[in-house]
Amino acid sequence: MRKLLFALAAPVGAFVLTIIISSIALWMFGSNPFSAYGDMLGHAAKLETQVDILNRATPLYISAVAAAIGFRMNLFNIGVEGQYLFAFLIAAQVGSLVVLPQVFHILLIMTVAVLVGAAYAGIAGVLKVTRGVNEVISTIMLNAIAITGLIALLQQRWQADQENFTSTTLGTNPIPESGLIPNINGIVEIFTRDIGQGKQLTGMLIVAILVGLAYHFLLTRMRFGFDLRASGANPFAARAGGIPPKRMVVAAMVLSGAAAGLIGLVELNEKAKFSPNPIKGLGFAGIAVALLGRNNPGGMVFAALLFAFLDVSAGILQNTQAATKEIVNIMQGIVLLVAVIAYGVTARIQSREEAKATAEALRATEGMEVAT
């Protein structure tokens, strides 16, 4: 009971504080906070908006898992951004070159994306253990190399119809139907009404759920996950316990990059190609989602949904003119900041309470003084 109370105290407290601070911000912008929140919630109640939110939450969640794998052992993979965009481009190109039975075609594209992401992140891991390069620096630089270098270069070379392309043919050659994961509108429509406005719920949602389950299994059931958490919890004890620190760094980076490779597939399945202006920033947003969800497979689900809801709300606020859409970025920032502080405070209280409770439990059961 107490445990549950503690687990809820931080998110609830953070939520209330965020609402208060956001309201002040809205009011300062000259908007009515109540009508802004009303518009946001009113729209979120619609099935079509919910589809939008889930479509946005899907890549955010995968990205958060990628970041969280590193965070679990105090590795900061800032390079998810570059890893997913690079993997996206390569997977799009490879997928467009072949025609295979659907299952194999989809698996091929996924495998390519995962391998490219893993290999690209692995560079930072290898640099860290062989040359002592801090992974934050190397992944930031690898982001620049991927986005402004490799992608810019390859994208031109792989441009469909080199001679006379129009705005609709910009990008790589489209992937044949067999390479695309179908939407899962049908599954949702069993429980609800038909989804309108031509909205499609991405099939990658299923993949994201599987990624979350795999991450949970890795952390709680697998030896590698134990080693990962131990290395993060106390690297010295982990090393003395036989966990090879260097190999863990490379493995964690590779695994993080592998998850990152899947992020771009959400957009790839929607557009069937790599367009010159893919959705950027998902890698960085994933870091925020991982922080908010405390690297926890379940917590990050809520965090991803919250961020997705706010992202989608930006468009709604712009349409209804209830507030400027930038308020959404402010809210995301506030919720993150407040949540991190709230987690820190409750963790400290909780740890003190636990020590006290343990001492008391012992005194009660044994009727003897515990060392003070």
Residues that bind other proteins (CB under 8 A): 220-227, 229-230, 233-234, 236-244, 351, 354-355, 357-359, 361-362, 365-366, 370-372
- Choose between 8 and 222: whose C-beta lies nearer to other proteins: 222
- Choose between 154 and 359: whose C-beta lies nearer to other proteins: 359
Q: Please, what is the minimum distance in Å from the beta carbon of residue 104 to other proteins? A: 27
| CA distances to 176, 211, 365 from 65, in Å | 29, 8, 42
- Choose between 219 and 308: whose C-beta lies nearer to other proteins: 219
Q: Please, what is the minimum distance in Å from the beta carbon of residue 149 to other proteins? A: 32
CA dihedral sign, ordered 267, 280, 81, 211: negative
Q: Please, what is the minimum distance in Å from the beta carbon of residue 354 to other proteins? A: 5
CA-nearest of 14, 131, 134, 143 to 70 is 134
- Choose between 68 and 151: whose C-beta lies nearer to other proteins: 68
Q: Please, what is the minimum distance in Å from the beta carbon of residue 234 to other proteins? A: 5
Report the C-alpha gap between 91 and 261 in whole angstroms.
9
Q: Please, what is the minimum distance in Å from the beta carbon of residue 228 to other proteins? A: 11
- In the numeric block, the tokens 């919890």 are attached to 233
Q: Please, what is the minimum distance in Å from the beta carbon of residue 256 to other proteins? A: 20
Both tokens of 213, joined, read 């389950």
Between helix 245-263 and helix 47-71 the angle, nearest 10°, is 160
Q: Please, what is the minimum distance in Å from the beta carbon of residue 337 to other proteins? A: 23
CA-nearest of 192, 155, 189, 152 to 170 is 155
- Choose between 270 and 353: whose C-beta lies nearer to other proteins: 353
- Choose between 156 and 220: whose C-beta lies nearer to other proteins: 220
DSSP, residue by residue, 309-323: HHHHHHHHHHHHTSS
Residue 75: CB atoms within 10 Å:
23
- Choose between 199 and 239: whose C-beta lies nearer to other proteins: 239
DSSP class of 168: T
- In the numeric block, the tokens 């965070």 are attached to 71
Determine contact, residues 313/328, Cβ cutoff 8 Å. Answer: yes
Determine contact, residues 84/114, Cβ cutoff 8 Å. Answer: no
- Choose between 222 and 345: whose C-beta lies nearer to other proteins: 222
Q: Please, what is the minimum distance in Å from the beta carbon of residue 237 to other proteins? A: 5
Determine contact, residues 117/261, Cβ cutoff 8 Å. Answer: yes
Determine contact, residues 228/248, Cβ cutoff 8 Å. Answer: yes
Report the C-alpha gap between 7 and 350 in whole angstroms.
10
Report the C-alpha gap between 287 and 81 in whole angstroms.
10
